[in-house]
Amino acid sequence: MDAPVVSCHHCGEPVASGHPVKAGDHAFCCGGCAAAAAWIQDADLGSYYRLRSANANRVQADRLDLESWDRSELLDEHSRAVEGGREIVLLTDGMRCAACAWLIDRALAREAGVLDTTANAVTGRIRITWDPARTKLSALLHRLAMLGYRPYLATGDAREQARLSERRRWLLRLGVAGLGSLQAMMLAEALYLDVNATMPLPTRDLFRWLTFLVSTPVVFYSGWPFLAGMAREWRARHVGMDTLIAGSTLLAYFASLVETIRGGTHVWYDAAVMFVFLLLAARMLEQRARNVATAQVDALARAQPVFAIRERGDGTRESVPPSALRVADVVCVSAGEGVPADGTLLDGAADFEEALLTGESRPVRRQAGETVYAGTTCRERPARLRVTATGTATRLSQLAALVDRAQGHRPPLARLADRIGRHFVIGLLALAVLVYFGWRLYQPERAFEVTLALLVISCPCALSLSVPAVLAAAHGALARCGVLATRPDALDTLARATDMVFDKTGTLSDGRPARVDVQAYTDLDAASAMRVVAALEKDSGHPIASAFADIDVRHLAASVVTYAGLGVEGDVEGRRWRVGRADWAAARNDDGALWLGDGQHGVARFTLDETPRDDAATAIAVLRAQGMRIHLASGDGDAAVQRLARTLGIDAVQSRQSPEDKLARVRQLQAEGRIVAMVGDGLNDAPVLAGADVSIAMGEGAPLAQQAADLVATGPSLLRIADAVRIARLSRRLVKQNLAWSAGYNLLAVPLAAAGMVTPWIAALGMAVSSLAVTLNALRLARTSTETAA
């Protein structure tokens, strides 16, 4: 029988069998966790272990270089002067519950020189105000690290603070509107229940003036976003939803004020405040959907480390900001530290955590010569890399830019909904005039009330929210599953796609061909032939180059030209060579291998083998189950393409395809009425990616392919493509549902209101419920994406 697993009392990780660190009645995985627990008990903060709902992080304070945080350039850029000292906002990934925030607050408060501290378990942020004359920032961070909370620099702090400030303003407006609506409805109820007019007039007037007082801040403070929106629409010389909202609210408010002053029969303060309150609630739900996607931008912005360790020419090291790094610099990354720039791994294999960039939950093993990306985290052993891209040129920055661009897109369907909404408002205003004069002839005392109810209940809020709310939730869902949309109508087209065409190398295969056999046919031996191929392929960027990466190149190739779908041609040691397809490089008919020749004669034949991606078969099966017809189009020989197609169960196969051939195949499918999605990763795929109805580029592929694509998969997993199709189809279905609901609601509500069967406050309730309904329907996307991720 196996011995029970003993978990660390502090971090919850398994304790090594036979080697626990004991302290009192508890076992710990290491001395760091034991020391943290001992300090917590000595500081009389032992309640932390009773209150927490999640384990702390493992303590690794001895691995961190926190003295860098005391450097003046960091403090000048990322902290600000306050009365008595300085203030900085940090991030930590270990604050998992309110007990963690409680512990951090009290632990830092006990440190000398700390003026104030606030830890937020929701955002993972810690605000520290300290006196630099009494203590160093690094000493406070050592205390955090000793407890298992590793500090990070909040480089996206400006964006986060702006969003939090905006959220607080909206919450305050919503709170004022909620309280005002509650009070107004209580006072209005007393007036409504006086059906026999037995209430004394002074009492009635007192209730009306009290309602006026509680309604005023709701209309002009809580309702300010709608008033400001109406002003913007008028400056742009068009009427829209904000004009109708603000106009109806002001109409109800000022008409009620006039009736209050002259002692009229009815007032409508309750309708005005209810209108504002419920619409604010709907707007905040829409903002929540948008923030799901913008949080991805913030996460990417925060992935930059504080300092980079650069290796000088004499082997010594210096600590510099990441902005000081240049291409070809050698950077040393300690275990547990973030990678500051894109680069090539110099020494042996190392593991990197790439979850933020690719969505892969497990560390990825990188070999010497492979690319390592900024924003990833080096795991168990340190690594050295040569910088290949910095700043905005890194993949991290490019992904952040893609996400930012995706948030600003307004696809044609959203623009159509806006146009319909504007025309609807104009038509509604005309209808309201007719209804008013009609009721003036029939029942003059109810003309204003019926017209107000009509304007309120038929406000096209649900129509205006139906598409943007779904798109915001869809972009957030895509970001969580590792796909970024870069074109306005990508989601809608992907949802309608009927056929999906895959490239082979680097898309369905792992992109790392291996040499199986080498045959030389002239006086050029196999080793020399491999050196020629390695020289030609060295800077081609094609995945085949990885099959010759281990070959020592003695002479660099000159005048190298890449011919799409054929191969590479160049001069090596004064001789012109071609490597690629057999008919092009060696004038031979051989689909099963890569040939080296001069265009007329073949001198060496290379048999390469590619392994399908681990999830390729599963992804193909899922896509086929979704009703997608799968095609494989590759520039490789027929034997290799058919072998991969048989492994994955693909029937529609085209081999030896040039970019023009692939594009022609896509055009042929489109001529048959099919909607074609193309998935590729290479330079050669850029034309067909641009020509397909919708295209997806793999994140590890060529930048040109990503620029031509409508969507970019940030990691190597093909299953995220199936997830993107599912999300796109669900979002299209939700848009249709929202538009149908909006149309059906207005078709029912407008006649009822025009017939005088709806009071203004019920109209406000009905309109707001319709807006909430479309927003909550859109948020189903967030729930389904979370379930998929789980």
Query: Comparing C-alpha atoms, which of 146, 143, 149 is closest to residue 31?
Result: 146
Contact assessment for residue 71 and residue 321, using Cβ atoms and an 8 Å cutoff: no
Percentages (nearest 5) of helix, strand, coil residues in the chain: 55, 15, 30
Write down the catalytic residue from 503, 681, 693, 723. 503
Burial class (CB in 10 A: 0-12, 13-18, 19+), 220: middle
Distances (CA, A) of 761 to 142, 291, 511: 58, 31, 63
Burial class (CB in 10 A: 0-12, 13-18, 19+), 669: buried
Cα separation, 177 vs 764, in Å, equals 14
Distances (CA, A) of 122 to 289, 484, 583: 17, 25, 62
Burial class (CB in 10 A: 0-12, 13-18, 19+), 259: middle
Contact assessment for residue 560 and residue 569, using Cβ atoms and an 8 Å cutoff: yes
Contact assessment for residue 151 and residue 141, using Cβ atoms and an 8 Å cutoff: yes
The reply to whether 270 belongs to the active site is no
Cα separation, 731 vs 785, in Å, equals 11
Q: Which residues of 496-509 are buried (b: 16+ CB within 10 A; e: fewer)?
A: ebebbbbbbbbbbb
HEC string of 545-614? HHHHCCCCCCCCCEEEEEECCCEEEEEECCEEEEEECHHHHCCCCCCCCEEEECCCCEEEEEEEECCECC
Count CA atoms closer than 13 A to 280's CA, side-chain side. 27
Cα separation, 610 vs 515, in Å, equals 9
Place of tokens 């990885």: 546
Cα separation, 710 vs 693, in Å, equals 9
Cα separation, 763 vs 458, in Å, equals 8
Residue 299's SS3 state is: helix
Eight-state DSSP code of residue 418: H
Helices (H), 7-57: 31-42, 47-51
Cα separation, 728 vs 628, in Å, equals 14
HEC string of 202-268? HHHHHHHHHHHHHHHHHHHHHCHHHHHHHHHHHHCCCCCHHHHHHHHHHHHHHHHHHHHHHCCCCCC
What angle is formed at CA 471 by the lines to CA 619 and CA 774, rounded to 5 degrees?
115
Amino acid at 522: T
Residue numbers annotated as active site: 503
